[in-house]
Amino acid sequence: MLVKQLPVGAIQTNCYIVGCEETKEGVIIDPGDEAERILAEVEETGLTIKYILNTHAHFDHIMANKGLVEAIGVPLAIHPLELPMLRENGGAKFFGLEAPPSPEPDVELAEGDTISFGTHTFQVLFTPGHTVGHVSFYEPNAGIIFDGDVLFANGIGRTDLPGGDFETLIASINEKLMVLPDETVVCSGHGPVTNIGRERATNPWL
């Protein structure tokens, strides 16, 4: 599996370009800003993008949705509980920022759904707590999960924004992430890559 981590925007949110090296099909996860830069990276990989996937609708994860959908015309996917926030431009005004309006999603995600590209298939895990409709994307054969703002290296997602709930977030981590194998690579929305075993052993919040 090809994985490119691309920190974008004012707060350096991790956008991920993920692809099948065999078929050159791929997806973009959480395009938070800098659509032209993301497109340039996609072109460099030679991937044909099949989906744009949002783990949740905070502005720093969706600001390039519009530019990418207009440029490559592929389906946009998000959980339906995130639609109110998506339609409010991810809450950018709350932080005194302007964000381009995101297109409406073509695919509404739910627990147990699958997203396939090339030889890879993501399992959609419902992982609320940071937001009400947050999802994560798990590829068991590759041993990797893209978990947005749920679990970080030595940290967890914040729960003090609208829709956040600490107990719900901890339940999502324990019930959906901590049951995965220790070697599972965790690609988060902010900061470095980690793995489940390391966070199980050392994360102060767990």
Average pLDDT over residues 46-66: 97
- For 152-196, the pLDDT digits (tens) are 999 999 999 999 999 999 999 999 999 999 999 999 999 999 999
- Residue 92's pLDDT band, with cuts at 50, 70 and 90, is confident
CA distance 45 to 118: 14
Burial category of 104 from C-beta neighbours within 10 Å (exposed 0-12, middle 13-18, buried 19 and up): exposed
Can you give the pLDDT at residue 72? Answer: 96
Provide the whole-model pTM.
0.97
CA distance 145 to 123: 9
Can you give the pLDDT at residue 7? Answer: 98
Domain count across the chain: 1
Contact 187, 14 (CB under 8 A): yes
Average pLDDT over residues 91-108: 90
Average pLDDT over residues 13-18: 98
- Residue 97's pLDDT band, with cuts at 50, 70 and 90, is confident
Can you give the pLDDT at residue 35? Answer: 98
Which pair of structure tokens corresponds to residue 192? 């470095």
Instruction: Report the chain's C-alpha Rg in angstroms.
Output: 16
Average pLDDT over residues 196-205: 97
Average pLDDT, the chain: 97
The rounded percent of the chain whose pLDDT value lies above 90 is: 95
Can you give the pLDDT at residue 98? Answer: 83
Can you give the pLDDT at residue 87? Answer: 96
Average pLDDT over residues 96-107: 92
The CATH number of residue 68's host domain is 3.60.15.10
Can you give the pLDDT at residue 184? Answer: 98
The sign of the dihedral angle between the CA atoms of 139, 117, 9, 133 is: negative
Contact 164, 154 (CB under 8 A): no
Parent domain of 66: 2-202
Can you give the pLDDT at residue 93? Answer: 83
Is pLDDT above 90 for 147? yes
C-beta atoms surrounding 100 within 10 Å: 16
Can you give the pLDDT at residue 95? Answer: 80
Is pLDDT above 90 for 205? yes
